[in-house]
Structure 1
Amino acid sequence: MSEGMTDADGSHYDVVVCGAGAGGLASARALGGLGLRVLVVDKQRVQRPVAKGEVLQPGALRVLREWGTEKLLEERAGERLGRLVVRDPSGGPLMSLDYGQLPPDDRSLLAHDHLVILDALADGLGPGVEVRRGVLVEEPLRDASGRVTGVRLAEGGRRYDVRASLTVAADGISSRLRRAVGIDAKRVDYPHRLLSFELSGVTPRPDDFSAYLGDRGLRLVYPLPGDRVRLYVQAGPDELRGVDRAELAGWCERMLAEVPALGPLTGPLLAALDSRQLLPVSRFLSPTLSVPGLAFVGEAAYAVHPMAAQGMNTAITSAASLAGRLADRLDGARGMSDVDASVDAALRDYQEERQPILAHAARTSDNAARMVTDLSWRGRVLGRRAVRHTGANPRLLHTVTYNMSGLGPRPMTFLDRLHQIGLLPDPRARRVPNA
């Protein structure tokens, strides 16, 4: 694909990837692995630490294992977790997703810092991948037919064009490229925010990914490397507006008092108030994942509530899917017109394969989030019933675990939904399928 595509100023590449987050770096790793010449650009000069994208599911770990990235994360002290548990305020398990039920190589999650995951992806990039930071993507370039043929960039007061047969938009939920090609996607904000803290000195330290149900919503806890713990706390959109440090400390003490199992976090949390990040929470699914010459990956295509740990994971598996479909179509392509036609055919294949998977993951994430975050009377009743009845049904537990793992969708039927909220007995509750 690269033959005849490079000119003297280096303005032609096989692929230009816009965004160097998890989706962009995973795309560059996957496409660079095909032997393609790839340029990655990102507007940030330095990646900022954020409390997101810290838990890798088995589906994404399969891809990272193939790339050698999983080994890099393990060498950097990644935390293995075996369960995702919904608990009552006293810590009793209400619904436990046991990853030990899954195939032998897929029986754990891996938790690590977001920046470490990005660094591991970057360290695996091949020699054909170039990364430029501090570069703004201004707009897509298009030919007479409307096909995207690259991007216009701004860097250090200079504006220049980069041409490529494939452009990957991995530029986030407010994707400039997606808007520029006229893809109208509705972003829906949840009626709460998440307050994140990074704690040290917690004893005993959690050994799983646990969501605690309280009267005021979600409290999510899991370990990070270096004897640290991540705590997410649900808050109203304006609940903490204008509070000073003393008021925040009082709010945190009252919040933990509502969930007795989290009492041991009180001292470490009060010592970690300055680590707080207040995060808006949205859901979003693009109506299409590609147009001719352009693919959407990561949050440019899809964003979900972090409760189900699906966002970064689907970005990684989508990147692998895009590369796989492109490899299938490029085999035997000759000449630029043939290459462009092959790329566009691969983009249609990518759309056909990934759209239903992302739609299913979006529903799974939204259902999981609403079960524990919806504070309306109806939401509390249905959410608590769903947690309780799912937790007591081994067959449904296995289905939910498989769906959360990212190993492939196993859609729940209408009857399953009735079983899940206890409106219909399940005679198959003990029939757990093989992994």
Structure 2
Amino acid sequence: MADRDFDIVIVGAGAAGLSAALAFSRDGYRTALVGSLDSRRDGRTVALLNGSVRLFEALGIWPAIAERAAPLETMRIVDDTGSLFRPPPATFHASEIGLDAFGWNIENADLVDLLADAARRQEGLTLDEGQAGGIEVTGGHAVIRLEGREAIRAKLCVAADGRNSQLRKSVGIKARSWSYPQSAVTAILAHDRPHRETSTEFHTRHGPFTLVPLPGRRSSLVWVTNPEEAKTLAGLADAALAAKIERQAQSILGTMTIDGARGTFPMTGMSVGRFTAPRLALVGEAAHVFPPIGAQGLNLGLRDVAALRDAVIDAGDAGEDPGSPDALARYQRGRDIDVRLRTVAVDSLNRTLLTGLLPADFLRGAGLLGLSHIGPLRRAVMREGVLPRIGTPRLMQGAA
């Protein structure tokens, strides 16, 4: 089984799985990546925050990503709920915390394509486009069963196989899932007016309506609304949908046209009781799912990857193998607080938008006013939103 025997096997070839494969093979571990490298365009983008940019710089692939991404120099929040306590728009500038940009926005499919190209060129990385059916632990190894082909084994298996992770289910890690009375409509737009590197998020009674810059006079849309309206929007022709979006955006970017793929997705959340099992670590949406608010989803998954890499490196320095109990315990400790706090924060903000209760409106309005006018609080929240100051993984600590 020598040619099917690795130090680390990653299952799942999305952005988180590809990043993990590149990170571990770069550090000299015999690494395999299991999963299809095909990407699908569905109108979704990701805003790569500062820590994620640093990770990709460390992996040597940031220049290629930057060519297809747009900087987010300014972030604006507009309360469009109709609340009695509606505060004025709050605007945040990256320069206030010493950054050129909070992050960079890129289409999901473009990011996955670029990471896949890097994976194909990466020395020490074996690609297997099979599908994993489960995992067993025996003799100090994880044995990963593949459908229609020979199993592979490793000291550590990384589950990056998404919210319906087969590996997570096969080891009995319980997940708590929930849904929201919302769906998200996504699209790529072209528009008359320049976005000036500004991301604008309208908080409506049905959820956030967000326009995020892309290169040129283009932006991505995430419109979170009730499922009935989302279904209606999804059924519109491109011109009619673009007109609806322009009205909802208060024409801040002028006339709009659909300029790429579209998609519609139910809004759900998911959390797990633990991030590890013997010889297994969960990363990305195998470990956590929540609404697309504040660009936290994939950025949190990339922090999982960087934190797991640190735990494995530290284990090696102590003479332990990558999937040892101590390595996995380090990873569990490192992710517990970060993941759980972000999940609660995003879930709570989304739920306050859905309620019509005056106390919730008052608290949300007071919070935005405080962020607008209290400088130290404002800068602290911006820094924490971009990258936690405590427990930052080492690959995310470099200059960006």
Give the TM-score, by structure 1 length. 0.79
2:58 maps to 66
Q: Per residue, is there more strand in 1 or in 2? A: 2
1:387-402 paired onto structure 2 within 5 Å = 387-402=368-383
- SS of the equivalent of 1:275 reads strand
- Per-residue CA deviations over 1:149-170 (Å, capped at 9, x if unaligned) read 121001xxx2321111100000
Asked whether 1:83 is paired with 2:74, we answer: yes
Distance 1:51 1:251 in 2: 14
Structure with the bigger RCO (C-alpha within 8 Å, sep 6+) is 2
Distance 1:166 1:33 in 2: 16
CA contact (8 A) 2:50 2:103 kept: yes
- Per-residue CA deviations over 1:169-199 (Å, capped at 9, x if unaligned) read 0000111111111111111222211111111
2:105 maps to 111
Distance 2:215 2:113 in 1: 15
CA contact (8 A) 1:148 1:292 kept: no
2:274 maps to 288
2:7 maps to 14
Asked whether 1:221 is paired with 2:211, we answer: yes
- Per-residue CA deviations over 1:17-54 (Å, capped at 9, x if unaligned) read 00011110111111112201111111x46211234452
Distance 1:98 1:397 in 2: 10
Q: 1:384 to 1:261 in 2, by over 3 A?
A: farther
How many residue pairs get aligned? The number is 383
1:25-44 paired onto structure 2 within 5 Å = 25-42=18-35, 44=36
1:208 maps to 198
Q: 1:264 to 1:347 in 2, by over 3 A?
A: same
Distance 2:241 2:23 in 1: 45
- Per-residue CA deviations over 1:281-300 (Å, capped at 9, x if unaligned) read 22222221111200001111
- SS of the equivalent of 1:191 reads strand
Distance 2:347 2:128 in 1: 35
Q: 1:247 to 1:27 in 2, by over 3 A?
A: closer
2:293 maps to 307
Q: Of residues 306, 319, 325 in structure 1, which corresponds to 2:311? A: 325
CA contact (8 A) 1:364 1:403 kept: no
- SS of the equivalent of 2:155 reads strand
- SS of the equivalent of 1:260 reads coil
CA contact (8 A) 1:217 1:375 kept: no
Asked whether 1:131 is paired with 2:121, we answer: no
2:321 maps to 339
Q: 1:36 to 1:85 in 2, by over 3 A?
A: same
- Per-residue CA deviations over 1:364-417 (Å, capped at 9, x if unaligned) read 33344345x42533444443343233323222222221121023369xxxxxxx
1:413 maps to none
Distance 1:254 1:47 in 2: 29
Distance 2:318 2:187 in 1: 52
1:428 maps to none
1:196 maps to 186
**Which is higher, the Rg of structure 1 or of structure 2?**
1
Distance 2:361 2:246 in 1: 20
Asked whether 1:49 is paired with 2:35, we answer: no
Computed over aligned residues only, the root mean square deviation of the Cα atoms, in angstroms, reads 2.9
Query: Offset at 1:88?
Result: 4.7
Query: Offset at 1:77?
Result: 3.6
Q: Identity over the aligned pairs, expressed in percent?
A: 23
The letter of the residue matching 1:40 is L
The letter of the residue matching 1:219 is F
Structure 2: runs of 5+ lacking an equivalent: 392-400
More deviation, 292-301/319-328: 319-328
- SS of the equivalent of 1:339 reads coil
Distance 2:42 2:212 in 1: 16
Query: Offset at 1:254?
Result: 5.3
